[in-house]
Amino acid sequence: MELYTTHFLCNQAHRTAPARQFFYTQANWKTAPISLDLGCGTGVITSELTFSRAQAIGLDINPDLLTQAVMDNLPNNSVHHILADATSLPFRSSVASFVLSHFTLMWIHNRETALAEVKRILRPGSLLAAIEPDYTGRIEIPKDTEYTSHSPIIDYLIFRGADPFIGGKLPFELRSINLTKIQFGTLSWEYNPRTAQTEIRDEVALLQAKGIHWKPPVFTYTPIFWIIAFKRKIH
Ligand SMILES: C[S@@+](CC[C@H](N)C(=O)[O-])C[C@H]1O[C@@H](n2cnc3c(N)ncnc32)[C@H](O)[C@@H]1O
């Protein structure tokens, strides 16, 4: 997936770090802690999921990204990797204490099946924590007048098979599969002119590589949702 360089994924993970710290306070690590980084990519986050002595599994469908994840996490005995599809998770039921999706569910074509799989492998009382964007609320200033309806980035993501509007839809989808105690919101962070410009440059380069000319805005904002949802306890 040439869309993502390690540099891009690192920056992205850095921006969402405070939300993940909140997620970890919500997890129940008491028994057999196994955590899953669903669609771990280059593995920039997976080692975080080892705290409280958890065994962390980074799972991805892309062998190239997974190879990099394996290499980067080599010295860590608590991090494991599996090449697999999120729509058919190679785990027995009720085994995971925590599942993270960090910009992954947006890329999974059959999301309904993947969510059912995540629910299946979660232990009762454990949670799925997700960070996913919602480009419905994308702001660009100034707007490139060539693209009157919406940003070419949105078209590009759709073209590549992603759902750029997942963020706002996910809470309902999780409720529909009977997950409970659902909480969600959008992330906010300090505006840093330097990193903001890097993000814009990354997007311009991405479109340029595809032959799409886009006059870069000075400012962009994409709402990013954080969502947690628990598997019901059995009484
Ligand atoms: C935007 S990247 C995010 C990577 C990582 N979570 C991060 O934040 O750095 C999306 C990842 O989802 C993976 N992916 C897409 N569809 C998948 C599927 N069906 N099963 C497993 N992984 C999948 C891609 O290979 C890619 O690594």
Reported as a single tens digit per residue, the pLDDT across 188-206 is: 877 788 888 888 888 888 8
**Closest atom of ligand 1 to CA, residue 1:** 25
Per-residue pLDDT at 2 exceeds 70: no
Distance CA 95, CA 122 (A): 6
Mean pLDDT of 203-221: 88
Give the per-residue pLDDT at 1.
Answer: 46
pLDDT band at residue 32 under the 50/70/90 scheme: low
pLDDT at residue number 102: 98
Q: Is the CB of 103 under 6 A from ligand 1?
A: yes
CA of 146 to the centre of ligand 1 (A): 31
Q: Rounded CA gap, 193 and 25, in Å?
A: 30
Ligand 1 lined by 132 (C-beta under 6 Å): no
Ligand 1 center–CA 103 separation, angstroms: 7
Confidence at 147, pLDDT banded by 50, 70, 90: confident
Please count the other Cβ atoms lying within 10 Å of the Cβ belonging to residue 188: 11
Report domain extents, the chain. 6-138+163-195+221-230
Q: Is the distance from CB of 95 to CB of 203 less than 8 angstroms?
A: no
pLDDT-derived band of residue 96, with 50, 70 and 90 as boundaries?
very high
CATH architecture of residue range(s) 6-138+163-195+221-230: 3-Layer(aba) Sandwich (3.40)
- Higher pLDDT pick, 1 / 90: 90
Cβ-based neighbours of 226, under 8 Å, separated by 6 or more: 16, 19, 22, 23, 129, 130, 131, 184, 185, 186, 187
